[in-house]
Amino acid sequence: MQQLRTPLFVAALVAIALAVLVEIGAAGFLQGAATPAARFDDLIASDSELRDALEDVDADELNALLAGDKPPGMAISYMALLDGIILFTIGLMAVGLVVRERVIGRVQGIATLIFSLLLVLAAIGMILLAIAAVLLMVGLFLAFPFGTIAYLAIYGFFNRGGASATLGILMTLKLVFGVTLILSQQRFLQNKGLVLITLTSLLGNVIISFLHGLVPIFLVSITDAIAAIVVAILAVIWAVVVLIGSIPAIINALRPSPMASPN
């Protein structure tokens, strides 16, 4: 860490921390608003069978579905798994600036092992949750006509504009993180693991944006959940890599210190 430009390093730490906070809070501010009945009518206007089936649907039940808040999507929140690894790594480096190297060296391996293990378990649980969501949405959508109507009323109005703006903010924060980190110390480029996971995070942004724009608006909830699965799988892979990498540090920490030679 010689010749480290501390202000730029702190700026990098703040940028990635803000990115994680935005991802964690995405479920709150991307919650879709209630859908006007007229907008729902426009959505199914081109399908005569759905229009005919709508006459047999209880109006109060349909209005209740339309009036409810719309699911905010999953993929952006799932990015916190991947970026959390980056934040944890940079956080350990920051701690190393203020804590003696001998102390941090003994704690780092165990902390990394615990963090990566918890992250793997959390990511696996979230993958199962996203798979269940995909199966539910696809099942509803294919249960024509009444399941399709229920799907469209609940999931057919994904907040794609808000998600796009959020992804733009996240991309900016991650680029700021990368640039300021490199400017703080060029030797960070030699840390292949850190470089690769940062590129993986940027790739996750691109994947989510691509899947959001790939399909019509009423199918974006499904592709968003698929993107969440992809991002979580990437996070599991990296968490396992970090977990394996922590083992040598744990061995070194548990190895007894050599006894001082007698005078």
Residue 250 and residue 253: Cα distance in Å, rounded?
A: 5
pLDDT in tens, 24-68: 999 888 876 667 767 777 778 777 777 777 767 766 777 777 777
The confidence score (pLDDT) of residue 34 equals 67
- Give the pLDDT mean for 183-205: 94
Cβ atoms of 188 and 8 closer than 8 Å: no
* Cα(239)–Cα(115) distance, integer angstroms: 9
Q: What is the pLDDT of residue 150?
A: 87
User: Per the confidence metrics, is the pTM higher than 0.75?
Assistant: yes
Tokens for 130, please give them.
């996203």
Look at residue 261 in the predicted model and tell me its pLDDT: 45
How high is the pLDDT of residue 40? 78
